[in-house]
Amino acid sequence: MSNRIGMEVSLMVSEAVKQAKVDVIAAYPITPQTHIVEHLSELVADGELDAEYICVESEHSAMSACCGSSAVGARTYTATASQGLQLMSEVLYAAAPMRLPIVLTVANRTLSAPLTIWNDHSDIMANRDCGWIMVFVEDGQEDYDQTICAFRIAEDRRVLLPVIVNMDGFILSHVIEPYVPVGQEEVDGFLPPYDPLYTMHPDNPVTMGAFAMPELFTETKKAHEVALHESYNVICEIWEEWGKLTGRTYTPVEEYRTDDADTVFVTMGSFSGVVMETVDEMRENGINVGLVKIRLFRPFPVDDVISTLRKFKNVLVIDRTLSLGSIGGPLAVEIKSVMYNADAKPNIFDFIAGLSGRDVPPDQIAGIYHTAMDALKMGRWENYYMVGLRE
């Protein structure tokens, strides 16, 4: 096992992509994912990574080229954010049902307008139904680990679906963190070369992306949905294997100091760090709270969410975007609908925080708790609360 190294998290992702020995990278620059593809282009230029790097003219073409290269059997990677993900959106929806195991890093960033470059989850949540596997990472080490795992998951013949690894833009992408890289031999053992089931090669012609009449379309959607849900077991299995290799085991839903908690925060992505710190502080003050972290967002780990959250009285979901015109943030809306079928129903509160990268310090996290407790006392609460809103 190697030593701990300090590195910018974006570069850790690039190093993971290098170790995954990708064949094709097609990318277009957009803040805050640029450092990832810059470093990858350096690795290709220096001969450290034997890959074709296509400098495409847009994100739409980036994902289109990825579809082409993945279809001919090449291990394929790209990264994007925000408006770039929106431009890709159309092609995301085409890539998944064609079962092309592309890996995409999204350095999550707010959608315009107003134009802003900082972080929230509005970009990925606008694409949450595109049929890709979606993972949210908390820190650099996890980002590195999940990037390598993403290729293994995507290319597993029981899965064959593309994977998005979500990292919070700037908040995670641009910070320097320590990480423990895995040796190349171990990565090679964990991730063999991509062995596609069908490829576009004249020696064995196939037709991909055909059109479907209404008589068949419903069945293709169902097949996609079944494949996506069945990927859950494979994902868990692969994460466990990675754990045996590295000592770092990941699960779809993770708990922190929840043993004796009545109330838990629910987060995704880099919020988890600050919430853990707040949980520690609050516990020192005698408030027994905990944290539930959702790592796997698609397929949504329904059973894990129910079995975890049914144990608590109060669930405080912290969403990083607002689903406009709906009843709050997308994560809370999903959790509420999942818990509708649970035998024990906690009180579910929704807090929208950190839009466009606005800082959410520990005292505001604690404030979330107090807002919820006050509402409980009064016996009624809003569909959602916006944290730190100046009115």
Partner 1 sequence: MDTYTDTRVDTHTDTRTDTYSVFAPNLMNQVENFAQGHRACQGCAEALAVRHVLKALGDDIVIGNATGCMEIVSSPLPLTAWRVPWIHVAFENAAAVASGMAAGLKVLRRKGRIPDKRVISIGMAGDGGTSDIGLQALSGALERQHEDFIYVCFDNEAYMNTGIQRSSSTPFGATTTTSPSGKKSQGQSTWKKDMPKIAAAHNIPYVATACSSYPFDLQEKIRKAVDSGGPAYIHCLSVCPTGWRIPSHLSIKYGKLAVQTGIFPLYEVEDGVYRMKKKNAKRRPVTEYFKGQGRFRHLTEDDIQSIQERVDAEYEKLLKLTEM
The nearer residue to partner 1, 56 or 175, going by C-beta atoms, is 56
- Interacting residues of 78 by C-beta distance below 8 A, sequence separation 6+: 25, 26, 27, 37, 62, 63, 66, 102, 104, 105
**Interaction of residue 227 with partner 1, rule CB under 8 A:** no
Residue 134 makes contact with partner 1 by CB under 8 A: no
* CA–CA dist 79, 84 (Å, integer): 9
Residue from 31, 34, 38, 61 touching partner 1 (CB under 8 A): that is 61
Judged by beta carbon, residue 1 or residue 206, the one nearer partner 1 is: 206
| Residue 298 to residue 301: CA distance in whole angstroms | 7
Q: How far is the CB of 157 from partner 1 (least distance, A)?
A: 17
- Could you tell me the two tokens for 376? 């409980």
Q: How far is the CB of 111 from partner 1 (least distance, A)?
A: 21
82 belongs to the binding site for partner 1 (CB under 8 A): no
Report residue 86 as tokens. Answer: 């929106």
CB nearer to partner 1: pick between 50 and 359 = 50
Distance CA 286, CA 298 (A): 36
Query: CB-wise, 69 or 119, nearer to partner 1?
Result: 69
76 touching partner 1, by CB under 8 A: yes
Instruction: Identify which of residues 92 and 172 has a Cβ nearer to partner 1 in the complex.
Output: 92
**71: contact with partner 1 by CB under 8 A:** yes
**Cβ contacts of 213 within 8 Å, gap of 6 or more:** none
| Residue 27 DSSP code | E
Q: Residue 35 has which token pair?
A: 């450092």
**Does 208 interact with partner 1 (rule: CB under 8 A)?**
yes
Q: Residue 68 CB, nearest distance to partner 1 (Å)?
A: 3
What b/e string do you get for 56-86 counting C-beta neighbours within 10 Å, with b at 16 or more?
beebbbbbbbbbbbbbebbbbbbbbbbbbbb
Number of residues that bind partner 1 (CB under 8 A): 48
CA neighbor of 41 nearest in space, from 31, 28, 57, 32: 28
**Which among 68-76, 113-121, 125-133, 146-154 is the span making contact with partner 1, rule CB under 8 A?**
68-76
In the complex, minimum distance from the CB of residue 198 to partner 1, in angstroms, rounded to a whole number: 10
User: Which residue number, 50 or 240, has a Cβ lying nearer to partner 1?
Assistant: 50
Q: Is 200 in the site for partner 1 (CB under 8 A)?
A: yes
Q: How far is the CB of 319 from partner 1 (least distance, A)?
A: 31
Residues 29-58 that bind partner 1 (CB under 8 A): 50-52, 54-58
Select from 14, 69, 80, 86 the one that contacts partner 1 (CB under 8 A): 69
Question: What are the b/e assignments for 320-350, b being 16+ CB within 10 Å?
Answer: bbbbeeeebbbbbbbbbebbeeeeeebebbb
Alpha-carbon distances, residue 33 vs 79, 80, 119, 173, 183 (angstroms)? 6, 6, 11, 7, 25
The tally of CA atoms less than 13 A away on the side-chain side of residue 247 is 5
Task: Return the residue of 60, 257, 283, 311 that touches partner 1, per CB under 8 A.
Answer: 60
Q: How many C-beta neighbours within 10 Å does residue 305 have?
A: 21
Exactly one of 6, 114, 192, 202 binds partner 1 (CB under 8 A); that residue is: 202
Instruction: List residues binding partner 1 (CB under 8 A).
Output: 23-24, 26, 50-52, 54-58, 60-62, 64-74, 76, 90-91, 94-95, 98, 193, 199-203, 205-213, 216, 220
